[in-house]
Amino acid sequence: MLLNRDDWYDTSRDLDWELSYVDPKLAFPDEWSGAGNIPADAWQKWDEPFRVSFRDYVRIQREKEMGVKAVSNALSRAGLYEKLDPAHVAASHLHMGTTCMVEHMAVTMQARFCRFAPSTRWRNLGVFGMLDETRHTQLDMRFSHDLLKQEPRFDWAQKAFHTNEWGVLAVKNFFDDAMLNADCIEAALASSLTVEHGFTNIQFVALAADAMAAGDINWSNLLSSIQTDEARHAQQGFPTLEVLMEHDPQRAQTALDVAFWRATRLFQTLTGPAMDYYTPLDQRKMSFKEFMLEWIVNHHERILNDYGLKKPWYWDQFLVSLENGHHAMHIGTWYWRPTLFWKPNAGVSKDERDWLREKYPTWENNWGALWDEIIKNVNDDRIENTLPDTLPSLCNLTQLPLGSAFSRHELAEHSLEYKGRLYQFDSEISKWCFEQDPERYAGHQNFIDRFIDGQIVPADLAGGLLYMGLTPDVMGDDVYEYAWAKDYLPAETATA
C-alpha cells in the first residue's frame, strides 16, 4: 500500500544525526549558520507549510518550464518584440541587466541554506530554493539571449556579473549584504522575508501586470512563473523569525529594519521609475506608491504586528521617502542617462504630468520645477545643458546619490567618521544602518571613492563611462528623443 505524503514526509526531511567525529560548531560554524546562542533544539519548531516532495517538485517545475517555453516560442515567431512601446521595453532591459545577476546570487544563498541552516527541514527546503534560483537565472539568460539579435542591451543580463556600472553596483551592494555576506538567519530575514516575500511582488506581480497590458506577454509570463517559486521558498523567513523572536527579538528587529530600508531604496531605483515613468500612461495599473502601500507597507506592518515587533523607528521618514525617493531617482537617472545601459523615458509630457500630480500631490512643487528647467533647455535646443559633466556624490550604504531619498528640499548632510575615514549617507536612516555593523560596510568603496582613489582614468565622465563598460551602442539616451517636450512649445511652434 502506498503511504500518503503526510505519513512519510517528516521522516524524509528529518535527516539529522548526532555528530560524533566532528564538533557541531565546526560542521555548522556560527559565521555561516548565524545560530549563535540559540539552543540547537529550538530549531525543532522550524516548519514550513509547503511540504514539497522532490518528486512533486520536479513534476511541477517541469510543467512551469514547458508553459514558459511554449509561450516564448509562439511569440518569437509572431515578432511581438518589435511592436512593443520603446519606453516599456526599457523596463525589460533594466530588469534583465540587474536581476539575472541577483537570481544567481540567490543560488549561492540557497546553497548556504542547504548546507549550513540550523534546521534539517530548512536545509531540505533550501534544496528546492537553490533549484528555483538556478531556473530563474537560466530563464533570464534564455529570454535575453533570444532577444540579443534585436537589441544589444540584453547582453547586460550577463555583463552585469562583471561590470562596474554604478546602478548595477548599487544592486550588487545590497544583495552582497542581504544574500552573500549574510549568515543563514540574516539572509532569511533580509532576503526571504523582506525581499522575496514582500518587495519582489512589485517587480514580479505589478510589473508583470504592466507588461501584460503593454502587450509584452513573453516577459509578463516569465515574471509570473518566477513569482510562483518565490512564493514558496520565501517561506523560509517566517519560521526563522519565529525562532529568533523567542531567543533574540532585538536582533530580528534590527535585521528587518535595515533590510526594509535598503530594499525600499533599491526598489525606488529599479521599479519606481519603471512603473511611474516608463510604462505607457494608458497601461499603468497603479502608481508605485499605491502598490507599495497595498502590497508592501500593509504587509510589512502586519508581519511586524503578528510577531510582536515594532515599526521601524524611521517610519515617518520612510513615508516621506515613499512620496519622493523614486521621483528623485528617476530625474537623477534620466539626467545621468549616459551612465545607464537602458534608455529612460522622461515620462513628463503634459498628460503624464497630470497623472503624476494626481497620484503625488507634492510632485509639482518637489519635481515639476526641475523638469521645467530641463524642458526649457530641450525646447531651446540646448540639450548639452540637460547632460552631466560630473558625477554625483554617492551614499556609502545604498550607493545612490546623496539627496535622492527625499524631496529636493531635504538635503541635510549625514556623515560619520569611522577609523579615520569619512563616510557620507543619503539619509539619517542609511547612516543608522551603517552604524549597526560598521565593519560590514566600511571596507567598500563607492564609485566616487574609486574616482578619488585614482582607479578611474581619466578622472572625468568619459573615464567613468569607460570604467563602467558603457559603449555607445548601449549608452542611455532619452527613449523618445525628446519628442515629449514639444507638448510645452507654444501652439504655433509645435506645429511648425
Binding site residues, Fe ion, CB under 5 A = 103, 106, 133, 136, 196, 230
Q: How many CB atoms sit inside 10 A of residue 281's CB?
A: 14
Integer Cα distance of 286 and 300 in angstroms: 19
From the CB of 100, what's the least distance to Fe ion, in Å? Answer: 10
Q: Toward Fe ion, which CB reaches closer, 100 or 394?
A: 100
Q: Toward Fe ion, which CB reaches closer, 238 or 318?
A: 238
**What are the CA-CA distances from residue 46 to residues 120, 121, 338 (Å)?**
9, 7, 49
From the CB of 106, what's the least distance to Fe ion, in Å? Answer: 5
Please measure the distance between the N-terminal and C-terminal CA atoms of the chain and give it in whole angstroms: 83
From the CB of 227, what's the least distance to Fe ion, in Å? Answer: 9
- Cell, residue 242: 519565529
Integer Cα distance of 167 and 164 in angstroms: 8
- How many H-runs (helices) and E-runs (strands) does the chain carry? 25, 2
From the CB of 38, what's the least distance to Fe ion, in Å? Answer: 24
**412: DSSP letter:** -
Who contacts 381 (Cβ-Cβ below 8 Å, separation ≥6)? none
Is residue 140 within 8 A of residue 94, CB to CB? The reply is: no
Q: Toward Fe ion, which CB reaches closer, 85 or 103?
A: 103
Is residue 290 within 8 A of residue 209, CB to CB? The reply is: no
Integer Cα distance of 112 and 128 in angstroms: 12
Q: Toward Fe ion, which CB reaches closer, 133 or 478?
A: 133
**What are the CA-CA distances from residue 222 to residues 92, 144, 231 (Å)?**
11, 11, 15
**485: DSSP letter:** G
Is residue 247 within 8 A of residue 38, CB to CB? The reply is: yes
From the CB of 143, what's the least distance to Fe ion, in Å? Answer: 14
Q: Toward Fe ion, which CB reaches closer, 140 or 210?
A: 140
Nearest to 185 by CA among 107, 239, 233, 261: 239
Q: Toward Fe ion, which CB reaches closer, 100 or 397?
A: 100
From the CB of 415, what's the least distance to Fe ion, in Å? Answer: 35
From the CB of 230, what's the least distance to Fe ion, in Å? Answer: 5
Q: Toward Fe ion, which CB reaches closer, 124 or 287?
A: 124
- Cell, residue 222: 516569465
Q: Toward Fe ion, which CB reaches closer, 233 or 337?
A: 233
From the CB of 197, what's the least distance to Fe ion, in Å? Answer: 9
Q: Toward Fe ion, which CB reaches closer, 196 or 210?
A: 196
From the CB of 168, what's the least distance to Fe ion, in Å? Answer: 17
Q: Toward Fe ion, which CB reaches closer, 97 or 401?
A: 97
Residue with cell 497590458: 213
From the CB of 128, what's the least distance to Fe ion, in Å? Answer: 11
**What are the CA-CA distances from residue 467 to residues 105, 372, 389 (Å)?**
23, 32, 16
Q: Toward Fe ion, which CB reaches closer, 155 or 196?
A: 196
Residue burial 92-108, b: 16+ Cβ < 10 Å; e: rest:
bbbbbbbbbbbbbbbbe
Q: Which residue is at the shortest CB distance from Fe ion?
A: 136
From the CB of 186, what's the least distance to Fe ion, in Å? Answer: 16
**422: DSSP letter:** E
Q: Toward Fe ion, which CB reaches closer, 101 or 391?
A: 101
From the CB of 489, what's the least distance to Fe ion, in Å? Answer: 46
Nearest to 233 by CA among 318, 130, 346: 130
Q: Is 201 exposed, middle or buried (0-12, 13-18, 19+ CB in 10 A)?
A: buried
By DSSP bridging, strand 421-425 and strand 414-418 are antiparallel
Angle, alpha carbons 329-333-334 (nearest 5°) = 115
